[in-house]
Amino acid sequence: MSVPDLDPVIHAQARLRVVATLNALCEGDQIAFPGLKDLLGMTAGNLSVHLTKLEDAGYVEITKTHKGRTPVTYVALTRRGRLAFEEYTVAIRALLGGEQ
């Protein structure tokens, strides 16, 4: 039996937490950056670095806008990101199933 490949972009613990959290949102929904930061208990800088890696892979979409005069950044999982997370979870299940 071959060992399935795990997506290295998602496999990093912090990015896995980000993707899993965003995947819990309905497709097309987004969350404000501060809310995601608080939910994950991450610093703004750390979250920003991981979001950049996920964005570069096409897994998340970052939208910068304004609410009144205040800048707001929203984060959403893309379809590609959802598919990558689904493939990742299938690979993890196959890997764990092989250990029984």
Domains defined along the chain, listed by start: 8-97 (1.10.10.10)
Assess whether pLDDT exceeds 50 at residue 100: no
Report the alpha-carbon distance of residue 41 to residue 58 in Å, rounded: 24
Residues 24/62/52/26 CA torsion (nearest 10 deg): 10
- Computed over every residue of the chain, the mean pLDDT equals 93
**Residue whose tokens read 């379809």:** 79
Q: What is the pLDDT of residue 4?
A: 72
Report the alpha-carbon distance of residue 68 to residue 90 in Å, rounded: 43
Q: What is the pLDDT of residue 72?
A: 95
Report the alpha-carbon distance of residue 52 to residue 48 in Å, rounded: 6
What pLDDT, in 10s, does the model give residues 43-56?
Answer: 999 999 999 999 99
pTM summary value: 0.90
Task: Return the DSSP state at 1.
Answer: -
Residue 3's pLDDT band, with cuts at 50, 70 and 90, is: low
